[in-house]
Amino acid sequence: MQVFDNNMRRASRRASLRRGSISALPQKSAEIPWDIFERLFMPFLFCQAAAIVSSHLLHALNISNISTFAVFVWFALSTVGAVLFYHFVKVSAPGKGVLITGCDSPLAWYLAKKLDDLGFTVYAGFNTPIDDSDEAKILKEETSGRMKLLHVDVTSETSLLEAARYVSQHLPHGAEGLWALVHCAHWIALGELEWIPFAVLRKSLDLNLLGAARLTQIFLPLVRRAHGRVVFLTSGLNRVPSPVRGIQCATQAAVDCFAACLRQEMRTRGVDVSVVAAGEFAPGNGWLNETELRDQAKQMWNQLSSEQKKTYGEDYYEAAMTSVEKYSRQAADIQPTLRVLIDAVTRTFPMARYTPVTATEKLQIFLAEHLAPSLYESLYGEQKKFVY
């Protein structure tokens, strides 16, 4: 099988979860708070424009000879204070319910634990049946009585309807609906397009896009009643051409567009929609096992036709498939993504888009979006082949 799903390396993940607190998570480097910078960027531009207009008007009317710079500083200080206050206002957690899918993964697992610590009623959805999930048992042991564990298979209509009925029947006391729906269920399929069987492509679409869309449809009435929010976890690199990860980038880009349209539709309904476009750890990549990766790549190679094998060559194929092994050699840094997921749930005024990425990733994403394709490919193309 040529896919890398959330059941890999269960033993090592259980060990990671048993380490306990959020502070025990690996932290590679200091995080850059892109969300704050992005929220301040436009107000700063308006401050400059307002300062120019105001100072010229004061001079023209002979009211004051104050400089444009002084007016800008006054506007900037006032605006920054107001924006930061606006940015950091939080909701009250008690009496609010949050449904999180994909809690088999370390990121969603820690998110569920942290939100429970903050006082939310958390409905932790696991891809696998609860009785078969060690992660579910550990989560139940380490959280409060507010924690509810659910089997939420986003590809099963029956599972989704049962989850909706359970949540509606077990809302916090006094709650009119569900405060937040957080989509963390994710499935990774790797390989160049010609190598991946259609069944794998279909599963990728079913789980990463259609499952999230259907779950949102089912839960929107509950979220609307609470004037809550929907949060989608995607990849910031879906805007970066990435050979071997084409289907992953495609489904994540589709979720991005779906969320943008839903945001417009829900704006008048009092429902916020946020996208958390994470960086290179790409949910799932942090758990790749080198041995399993090689075994699965070998199985996919065996399924190729003789003509395909001759065209691509075994050396090229192996270089392509093992180019992602670097993600299995170190623990994924999920702290920045965890922080913004919590912000998207707890802030009174969440951002439409969060980008918890490194400075290098931010630069590559910017260049991929704004440079001509030929120029971008000259920078990140042939000379960087298989170094994504």
Assess if residue 6 is contained within a domain: no
Average pLDDT over residues 293-299: 69
Question: Is this prediction's pTM over 0.85?
Answer: no
Place of tokens 């929220």: 39
Q: 232 and 274 in contact (C-beta within 8 Å)?
A: yes
- Please tell me which of 47-61, 90-104, 347-361 the model is most confident about, judged by mean pLDDT: 90-104
Number of domains in the chain: 2
Examine the domain organization and report whether 366 and 226 are in the same domain: yes
Per-residue pLDDT tens for 316-361? 887 777 766 655 555 567 888 899 999 999 999 999 999 888 888 8
Q: 337 and 231 in contact (C-beta within 8 Å)?
A: no
Predicted local confidence at residue 4, as pLDDT: 36
Examine the domain organization and report whether 75 and 154 are in the same domain: no
Element (DSSP H or E) covering residue 123: strand 121-126
Average pLDDT over residues 277-303: 63
129: number of CA atoms within 13 Å, CB side?
A: 2
Examine the domain organization and report whether 59 and 154 are in the same domain: no
Give the pLDDT band of residue 373 (cuts 50, 70, 90). confident
Predicted local confidence at residue 233, as pLDDT: 93
Assess if residue 218 is contained within a domain: yes
100: number of CA atoms within 13 Å, CB side?
A: 31
CATH number, domain with residue 345: 3.40.50.720
Predicted local confidence at residue 294, as pLDDT: 67
Per-residue pLDDT tens for 233-246? 998 878 887 777 88
Q: 333 and 281 in contact (C-beta within 8 Å)?
A: yes
Assess if residue 159 is contained within a domain: yes
Examine the domain organization and report whether 131 and 237 are in the same domain: yes
SS3 state at 121: strand
Examine the domain organization and report whether 64 and 199 are in the same domain: no
Place of tokens 């409060």: 144
Examine the domain organization and report whether 44 and 172 are in the same domain: no
Which comes out higher in pLDDT, residue 283 or 238? 238
Examine the domain organization and report whether 240 and 325 are in the same domain: yes
Assess if residue 26 is contained within a domain: no
Assess if residue 382 is contained within a domain: no
Closest CA to 347 of 231, 259, 185, 174: 231
Assess if residue 356 is contained within a domain: yes
Examine the domain organization and report whether 41 and 178 are in the same domain: no
Average pLDDT over residues 168-188: 91
Query: Which structural domain range is residue 106 located in?
Result: 97-371
Assess if residue 380 is contained within a domain: no
Examine the domain organization and report whether 319 and 182 are in the same domain: yes
Examine the domain organization and report whether 75 and 172 are in the same domain: no
Assess if residue 307 is contained within a domain: yes
Examine the domain organization and report whether 199 and 127 are in the same domain: yes
SS3 state at 275: strand
Q: Answer positive or negative: Cα dihedral of 366, 369, 375, 380.
A: positive
Examine the domain organization and report whether 78 and 109 are in the same domain: no
Instruction: Report the mean per-residue pLDDT for the chain.
Output: 81
Angstrom distances, CA of residue 35 to CA of 15, 269, 277, 353: 32, 24, 11, 8
